[in-house]
Amino acid sequence: MVIRDARPDELPAVGELRVRAYLAGGFLSPDSGYAPRLRALGTNSDGSVLVAIDAAEQAAASDAPGGGASTGRIVGTIMLVSWPHTGQVVSDPDEAEIRALAVAPGTQGRGIGRALLGAALERAARRGARSLVLSTQREMRAARRIYEQAGFARLPHRDWFPEPSTKLLVYGVRLDTRAPSVS
């Protein structure tokens, strides 16, 4: 697997991957008003969109005639947002925020989410963020496990409601005191 910045021409596919993953996991209803926002995250250059590329497909594409015309299939994504473009849960300029971790349906359980999270943690630390926060749904158990294993802790005093019936749980981790690896 290769993790890199998404190219601008890939952002529509990244948005669709997010929506497909959230729908498949039962975290988004087909008629949700949030789907357009999920698709659009990162399209206005308000953060870094990272993608995980299936390395086997990328290697096969580079060995094919015309070598490298394809960059492989995007199998996951995460967005890192720094001050001042952060959202509801960020409390000061030393914090960065993770948004929209998503892994393509059918590829979960291969470490893609963990690798994307690790890349976002490293990038946030390199940019000087002292802590990293995120919002997640209670039902996103697999994602919450990955966050907790990476050292994130619940910040219940920051939980919030983007809609009256939707409570988002907030997690955070200090970057200036954590070990460099999440694996």
For tokens 């920051």, what's the residue?
A: 158
Residues 19-76: pLDDT tens digits? 999 999 999 888 888 889 899 998 887 789 999 999 775 544 455 455 444 468 999 9
User: Domain boundaries in the chain?
Assistant: 2-174
pLDDT of 170 above 70: yes
Domain 2-174 has CATH 3.40.630.30: yes
How crowded is residue 53: how many other Cβ atoms within 10 Å of its Cβ? 21
Q: 91 to each of 78, 99, 131, 155, 162, how far by Cα in Å?
A: 21, 16, 10, 12, 17
At 131 the three-state DSSP class reads strand
Residues 111-150: pLDDT tens digits? 999 999 999 999 999 999 999 999 999 999 999 999 999 9
pLDDT of 181 above 90: no
Beta-carbon contacts of residue 91 (< 8 Å; ≥ 6 apart): 158
Q: Which residues pair with 95 in a beta bridge?
A: 131
Q: pTM score, two decimals?
A: 0.86
